[in-house]
Amino acid sequence: MSAFNTPPSTLNSHLSTHLSALSTQLLLRTDLPSGHRPIAQRHMADFHQMVRLMLSRHRIRVRKWRVSMSGCAWQVRYRNGRVIRWIEAPRPRSALSLSIFLHEIGHHVVGFDQYKRRCEEEFHVWRWALDEMRRLKVTPDEKVLNRFDLSMRYAVGKAMRRGIKDLPKPLRQFLPEAA
C-alpha cells in the first residue's frame, strides 16, 4: 500500500511513532557537550517533576500557562464547602520562571487571609517561594533575588501610596529611598 492510499489517521499514527522514537534518541544523546544537549537533558525534566509535585501536593490547578513573567492566584469556594485553587504562571523553564510559579503556589500555601496587609502577604509568599526553591535544590540566582526585591518595593510603595499607617518591621528595608 503506498502512502497515497493510506488513510490520514494511519499516516499520523506512523509519523507520530517515528517522531517519538527520533526525539527519544536525541534526548538520550550523552556524547554532546552539556551546553549543546537538548533542553530536556539540561534540567528541564527536573522542573517538570517539581511542577507536578507542587500542583498535586497543594491540590492546585493551572488555568493557563502564561507567556509573560507574571502570575495570579485565586480560589473558588462553593456553597457545599468545595474549594478549587487556581493559578496562572509561566511554565517553569528557568530559576526565574520557577520562582514566579512557586510564588503563586505560595499564595495558596500561606493563605490569602493570613495577613492583614497585602504587602505583608507578598513578603511571606516570596520567602516561602525562595525557601521552597532551596529545598528543591534550585539556587535563587541574581535575577530571582532582583525580582523579589523589585516586587517587594512595588508592594510596599503601593501600601505607602494608599496610606498604610504601620509598616511591619521586616518590610521597612523595601521603603523607597529619600530623594
Strands 83-90, 60-66: pairing is: parallel
Strands of 55-152, DSSP E: 60-66, 72-77, 83-90
Q: What is the pLDDT of residues 74-102, one digit of tens each?
A: 999 999 999 999 999 999 999 999 999 99
| pLDDT at residue 40 tops 50 | no
| pLDDT at residue 31 tops 80 | no
Task: Give the pLDDT of residue 37.
Answer: 42
Domain boundaries, the chain: 7-38, 43-174
Task: Give the pLDDT of residue 143.
Answer: 96
Mean pLDDT within 146-167: 94
Q: How buried is 8 (Cβ within 10 angstroms: 0-12 exposed, 13-18 middle, 19+ buried)?
A: exposed
Task: Give the pLDDT of residue 29.
Answer: 46
How far apart are alpha carbons 106 and 100 in whole angstroms? Answer: 10
